[in-house]
Chain A
Amino acid sequence: MTKILEVTDVSKAYGGVKANEDISLSIDQGSIVGLIGPNGSGKTTLFNSIVGAHPIDKGSIKFNNEELSTLTVDQISRRGLLRTFQQTKIYGQMTCMMNMKISKKLTGKFSDMFQTIPKEVEEEAEQILSFVGLYQKRNLRAGELSFGQQKLLELAMALINAPKMLILDEPTAGINPTLINGIVDRLIKVNKKYNITLFVIEHNMRVIMNLAQKIYCMAYGRILAEGKPEEIKNDKKVIDAYLGAAH
């Protein structure tokens, strides 16, 4: 199994607060990996470090054996490493269709900057929209979608960009339970059909357990435990961490 993402000894502090301390983890090509941990354990900070939203204090992040920590957000995502946000970020003023069209990966050729978006992109967008189940909504202003629908749209936008790896920040948070199963299936399909490696922050244990093949658990900015779902499920430290967080 080739490693697609390797994080070694990454630390990030905000002022005095150490959000991440000596985080090391590695993710296999084509796998689905979960990241759990109580609130404020530094999961999102880690994601931000990986996609270059802020510089890291020390350590290295390798994606396909290429150092990321010196690159900017857009460079990284052009390398095929994409993320979705906990609070959805979409182009609210535009229709879903346009959201999709824009998200189509840039070829980097200058001339393409000034070409009208070709028909096949439109068709591809329609396929993906129907795949996530937003087809009827394609001509709505994205800002008018419900939160859950926006999450789906964000997923769709990520898909049309054809990433190698996708980092999902709480894909099921704030989505009504009836949709959750649907989303899980979608994610599994994404992983299989589009062959995209997934790295998922998730609070919903049930979801993460039957989604991920491997799970990391964070607490207080450190990796607490890693392993297969069932190992994690019965890991003393993990349970303590959560209970500890509880009171």
Chain B
Amino acid sequence: MFADFDKKELTGLAFLLFLGISTPYLFSGYRIQMAELFLFMVYASTWNIQGGKMGYNTFGNIVFFGVGMYVCASTQIAVAFPLGEWTAAGGYKTFVHTPQQYFLGIPLGILLAGIVPAIIALIIGSALLVLRGHYFAIGTLGLGIASGEFATSLEIIGGGQGMTVPFWPKVAGLPHTFLGGGVNFFFTLSFLLFLAVFFFLRWLYKTRFGLILTAIRDNEDKAESMGIPTMHYKVTGWVFSAFFMGIAGGIFGNINGYIEPTEVAFAGATVGVFMVLMTILGGKGTLWGPIIGAFIFQLFKEFFWTYFLGWQLVALGALIIGIIIFFPEGIMGMLRQKYPALFGEVVDEEARLAQVTINTDD
């Protein structure tokens, strides 16, 4: 499995594995941030399928995130209680999940959280992906916010009231922190999800599918004129993103404990944009770019929160502008400029300059 990894990747991966495995023990105080970090790596990496590889800058992936979150939570609740009563404004009753109910709900919810958004992507994909360039960006932006507004007026999922996610159950005889307690559990889930996404994409980008995504970015017309049914590829790519974003949403919903339409689920103005910026900061269209980007971006955010209290958003805005102006190619992009060799391209000037020699006798 690791056979075809080179040194750089191995070190990178080793570092992440270390973080993932050691966090619950060494920095248990930072589990939430770390979980968020890994999830953000997932968001960015999946956004990268469209924005980076395929050249379709979407603001709409947040829709899948939100839908996944709601689907997962609703399923978790619905396996035990009628959803309507749970979310009913005011909620006169008190519900507590038994462990059986809870651990039935989790896998079921997460599974559906992946599938439902994937189906949605399949449906809206064929409609929206006919848009190109910034029209696609604007269209998906509209979609994202519209779905938030829609969720706000949907009673069954609590509407503007939002809904709470079931608690980590209390098992008689076990300490409250069995399986390391809810936090560890979901931290581990997000870490595993990240690994899944990472290896999936790593494989995907090597296949013909991955190459063709790049081809679509570079010159969609050419790709079509070479007999590639680009629409199929675009939609399929979006379905992949949707699937993983949905699961990520489901997990995040559980970590957060409370779901609310416009700020938590369909938070286009925060999560929706951050995943884009992370990818750009790290480097569009590369496997590691989004991961590096997410890592650095999160660090900056934490830093601002802690030391610019009250001004952190100003700082963040400034950071965004800085990234866009000075790092449009991202870190990986800069490395690629500096050391093309790392990316399997010729650097030796001679070959670069060599004239084409055509000998008419062969």
Known pairs A140-B345, A141-B345; A161 contacts B226 (CB<8 A): yes
Q: Across the interface, which residues of A come within 8 angstroms of B359, CB to CB?
A: 133
Query: A101 at interface (Cβ–Cβ under 8 A)?
Result: yes
Considering the chains assembled together, what is the distance between the CA atoms of A75 and B226 in angstroms? 9
Q: B346 contacts the other chain (Cβ, under 8 Å)?
A: yes
1/0 contact string of B334-348 vs chain A (CB within 8 Å): 000000000011100
List residues of B (180-218) whose CB comes within 8 Å of A's CBs.
Answer: 204, 206-209, 211-212, 214-215, 217-218
A-B contact count (CB 8 A): 117
- Give the CA-CA distance A133 to B226 in the complex, in Å: 21
Q: How many residues of B contact A (CB 8 A)?
A: 35
- State whether A102 touches B208 (Cβ < 8 A): yes
Cα of A136 to Cα of B204 in the assembled complex, Å: 28
| Interface assignment of A2: CB less than 8 Å from any CB of chain B | no
Report B217-263 residues with CB < 8 Å from chain A CB: 217-219, 221-230, 233
Is A65 engaged at the interface, CB distance under 8 Å to the other chain? no
Q: Is the interface of B mostly helix, strand, loop or mixed?
A: helix
B1 shortest CB reach to chain A, Å: 15
Closest chain-A Cβ to B232's Cβ sits at a distance in Å of 8
Residue pair A74, B224 in contact (C-beta under 8 Å): yes
B8 at the interface (CB under 8 A from A): no
- Contact B345 A117, beta carbon cutoff 8 Å: no
How far does the Cβ of B67 sit from chain A's closest Cβ, in whole Å? Answer: 26
User: A82 contacts which chain B residues (CB < 8 A)?
Assistant: 225-227
Name the contact of A115 in the complex, choosing from B207, B346, B356 (C-beta under 8 A). Answer: B207
Q: Is B93 an interface residue (CB 8 A)?
A: no
A213 on the B face (CB < 8 A): no
Instruction: For B223, list chain A residues within 8 Å (CB).
Output: 102
A91 B208 Cβ-Cβ under 8 A: no
Task: Decide yes or no: A91 and B214 within 8 Å by CB, A113-B209, A139-B344 being known contacts.
Answer: yes
A90 and B227 contact, CB distance less than 8 A:
no
Chain-B contact segment, one of A54-62, A179-187, A198-206, A236-244? A179-187
Nearest residue, chain B, Cβ from A131 = B362
Residues of B within 8 Å of A139, CB to CB, are: 344-346, 351
